[in-house]
Structure 1
Amino acid sequence: MDQHNDKKNQKKLVYSKIEVIQLLQWLHKRRKHPMSSLQYHKLTLLLPYPSLKIVESLFGSWTNALMEAELLYTPPTRRK
């Protein structure tokens, strides 16, 4: 196996929130709806994207990542 292909297929170990947000927004444009954590996890097994574990460690949860990427909206709760 040649060294160039090895490096090309390796995943980065450190990702910023901005990089992950941009990736999620890019994926969303192609799917037209937010991806589930399971769908994303399966994708990371095939492509050099940050793992679900990395995303969850950066944002606290998959849902928080989608919210910070402005792909999921949770309306504020109404006070009584």
Structure 2
Amino acid sequence: MPIYDYQCTPCKLQFEAHQSINSPAPDCPKCGSIAEKVILSAPAVHGNMARGRDLAMRSLQPKPDQAHGHPPGCGCGHH
């Protein structure tokens, strides 16, 4: 079952809840109010997904043997 991050609107407590995607928002463990705000964050990446992400990020980086392509003094740091 997935873990979701919530923040209680009245008391601002941040907490995690194990629940299915279709479940209603949980009650705040501190004040009992219904948590209305879901905090969205990037998912953790492990295993083959991490390797694929790393390769994709590297493919976007300029290769050492590629020409700079900008005029001298452009300020981008590549020479």
Q: Please tell me the TM-score bracket, short chain as reference.
A: under 0.3
In proportion to residue count, which structure has more strand?
2
> Is the radius of gyration larger for structure 1 or structure 2?
2
TM-score, normalised via structure 2 length: 0.28
In proportion to residue count, which structure has more helix?
1
TM-score, normalised via structure 1 length: 0.28
